[in-house]
Chain A
Amino acid sequence: MDELESTLKPLMLDGLNGDAKAHAQLLKLLSERLRAYFGRRLSASPDDVEDLVQETLLAVHLRRATYDRAQPFTAWAHGIARYKLVDHWRRRKVRATAPLDDVADFLASAPVDTDSGLDLTRVLSTLPARQRALVEDVKVLGLSLSEAGRRGGLSEGAAKVALHRALKLLAERLRHADR
């Protein structure tokens, strides 16, 4: 448990300082943890698991300003994951069948197979053309943000802003996607 905290927290701090590799590694490790966490609680609707993982990763990313560097990272991330789960149940009008858990439970997990998120693909297609092109170039072609921006005629700064906006829009629409 402390091992996970001591792995994730430095990655989070590096990511906040602009280290994209550390940030990617953090989200990668977190996604495995989330997949197991949601998987155990959504055994009746396994199709929703990956969508919820993606929604939570977006929330963790977009709301990372609410993370206090003095705070345990796992407590913060668990707070978000649990909120997303409860919110998912509320939207689905399903009463919580699993008992609400604590941080220790969040930390204990077994890996599960990755599956693709259906909602995100669908939601991505609703983005404004320019933002979608930027996202596709970074995602599919693996271009760096500045390269992708140049392809779309954007300066590096403008590309940064556009990507951030696109991610916010994705998160917003993903939450309201019909499921």
Chain B
Amino acid sequence: MQTDELIDLLAADAGPVGRYAPAQRLGLGAGVGSIAILMLVLAWLGLRPDLAAAVGGAFFWIKAAYTAALGAAGFWAVERLGRPGVSARRPAVLGASILALFVLAGLAQVVSLSGPARLIAVKGVSWTVCTRNIAILAAPSLLITLLIMRQLAPTRPTLAGFAAGAFSGGLAATLYGLHCPEATFVFVALWYTLGVAVSAVVGAAIGRWWLRW
């Protein structure tokens, strides 16, 4: 087929594509993903028994703010990486800064503690399951986000998958806070962060081949 013939074909299909802009589609996907994760938390893990008291304390919200901020940076990166010719430098810097800030807070806490207290802070009561739970909870959102991204035009598929995983991990970790009673900087900086990281790496591994177009 001659290229001119192809152009005539494409011209016959002119006009806007899809009713929603990429950001709107991703936003809608984030909403559906949040609901899916929330249902999973409720059905599988259950709420922490002291939730009513916990929401009155500061750390519940500090923890939620950290993971939600990671997720927000991820979402911003996803939205930009889905569009050709747009840089994702700023969301990457934002995500790395949030991460560094919280890890520093965790380190400061580790240093301030000594001996048995330090180990208790690091391990909490759930260090063996925390990272795994967050990674599993992230799965529905990761799937939805990647499905939407396949309709966009990610020119860096691995990076786009990483961002999708970071976004989903941040979302999952935030909702996981409804179940998980851990309340130290050390624990969250280590195990929560690791959960988000696992989700991001899984996203990158899938994106590397699945986000090609």
Residue numbers of A with Cβ under 8 A of B are 15-24, 27-28, 31, 50, 53-54, 57-59, 61-68, 71-72, 75-80, 82-83, 87, 103, 114, 116-117, 120-121, 124, 135, 138-140, 142, 144-145, 160, 163-164, 167, 175
> Chain A contacts of B7 at CB under 8 A?
24, 27-28, 31, 57
* A119 (CB) vs chain B CBs: closest residue: B1
> Chain B contacts of A83 at CB under 8 A?
84, 153, 155
A63 and B21 alpha carbons, distance in the complex (Å)? 11
A21 and B8 alpha carbons, distance in the complex (Å)? 9
* A74 (CB) vs chain B CBs: closest residue: B85
Total interface residues on B, using CB and 8 Å? 31
Number of A-B contacts defined by CB within 8 Å: 134
| A27 touching B16, Cβ below 8 Å | no
User: Could you show 20 A-B contacts with beta carbons less than 8 Å apart?
Assistant: A15-B15, A21-B11, A23-B11, A24-B8, A24-B10, A24-B14, A28-B7, A57-B3, A59-B213, A63-B213, A66-B152, A68-B83, A72-B85, A76-B83, A114-B3, A117-B2, A138-B12, A139-B9, A140-B5, A163-B9
| A65 touching B11, Cβ below 8 Å | no
A62 and B5 alpha carbons, distance in the complex (Å)? 16
| A23 touching B14, Cβ below 8 Å | yes
| B14 touching A19, Cβ below 8 Å | yes
* Nearest chain A CB to B1 CB, angstrom units: 4
Given A20-B14, A78-B85, verify A116-B153 contact (CB < 8 Å). no
* B7 (CB) vs chain A CBs: closest residue: A27
Interface residues in B151-202 (C-beta closer than 8 Å to A): 151-153, 155
**Sample of 20 more A-B contacts, CB < 8 Å, known A160-B13, A164-B13, A175-B213:** A17-B15, A18-B14, A24-B7, A24-B8, A27-B7, A54-B1, A54-B3, A57-B10, A65-B151, A76-B83, A76-B85, A83-B153, A83-B155, A114-B2, A114-B4, A120-B1, A124-B1, A139-B6, A142-B8, A167-B9
Given A59-B153, A66-B22, verify A20-B85 contact (CB < 8 Å). no
- The answer, yes or no, to whether B86 is at the interface (CB within 8 Å) is yes
A147 and B3 alpha carbons, distance in the complex (Å)? 22
Task: Say what secondary structure dominates the interface of chain B.
Answer: loop
A27 and B13 alpha carbons, distance in the complex (Å)? 12
* Nearest chain B CB to A48 CB, angstrom units: 14
> Chain B contacts of A71 at CB under 8 A?
83, 85-86
> Chain B contacts of A87 at CB under 8 A?
212
> Contact mask B1-42 → A, CB, 8 Å, 1/0?
111111111111111111001100000000000000000000
- The answer, yes or no, to whether B207 is at the interface (CB within 8 Å) is no
A77 and B86 alpha carbons, distance in the complex (Å)? 11
A72 and B86 alpha carbons, distance in the complex (Å)? 10
- The answer, yes or no, to whether B203 is at the interface (CB within 8 Å) is no
* Nearest chain B CB to A164 CB, angstrom units: 6
* A118 (CB) vs chain B CBs: closest residue: B1
- The answer, yes or no, to whether B71 is at the interface (CB within 8 Å) is no
* A146 (CB) vs chain B CBs: closest residue: B12
| A138 touching B8, Cβ below 8 Å | yes
> Chain B contacts of A76 at CB under 8 A?
83-85
- The answer, yes or no, to whether B95 is at the interface (CB within 8 Å) is no
> Chain A contacts of B213 at CB under 8 A?
59, 63, 175
* Nearest chain B CB to A58 CB, angstrom units: 7
